[in-house]
């Protein structure tokens, strides 16, 4: 009887973890030393540039055209988050340049952090 309860409890826990993970978007970036840096976000469902400070523009048109968003974070930046943002932004910039050439830079109207 005790093993049945334990099995049911484990099954419920596993199903809860699986359903919780379905809403997560994982962004995996590899730094220069090939270490994986993982960022899990439930709210960000599309690739995005990471900016720091006060939002100065609306990027709705850019988001619609290129399917890439701009996310603004706190002004205070730690070294790890700074490195993550630089690598993230460089990867997205390389992707956009390969796909659209240099035209996306004019449409964005800002210089992404780390570029």
pLDDT, tens only, 34-62: 555 444 443 457 899 999 888 777 889 99
Of 39, 40, 105, which is closest to residue 66 (Cα–Cα)? Answer: 105
- Residue pair 48/27 in contact by the 8 Å Cβ criterion: no
The pTM score is 0.60
What is residue 15's predicted lDDT score, i.e. its pLDDT? 52
Write the CB contacts of 107 (distance below 8 Å, at least 6 apart in sequence). Answer: 61, 62, 65, 66
Residue 92 has pLDDT above 60, yes or no: yes
- Residue 102: is its pLDDT beyond 90? yes
| Strands (E) located in the chain | 25-30, 36-41, 48-52, 69-73
Q: Assess whether pLDDT exceeds 50 at residue 70.
A: yes
Least confidently predicted of 12-16, 26-30, 57-61 = 26-30
What are φ and ψ of residue 45, in 5° steps? -100, 5
């Amino acid at each position: 009887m005790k093993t049945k309860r334990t099995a049911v409890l484990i099954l419920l826990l596993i199903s809860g973890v699986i359903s919780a993970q379905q809403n997560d978007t994982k962004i995996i970036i590899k730094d220069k030393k090939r270490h994986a840096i993982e960022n899990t976000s439930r709210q960000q469902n599309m690739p995005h540039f990471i900016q720091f400070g006060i939002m100065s523009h609306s990027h709705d048109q850019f988001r619609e055209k290129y399917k890439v968003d701009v996310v603004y974070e706190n002004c205070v930046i730690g070294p790890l988050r700074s490195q993550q943002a630089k690598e993230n932004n460089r990867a997205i910039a390389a992707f956009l340049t390969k796909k659209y050439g240099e035209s996306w830079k004019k449409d964005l109207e800002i210089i992404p952090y780390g570029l």
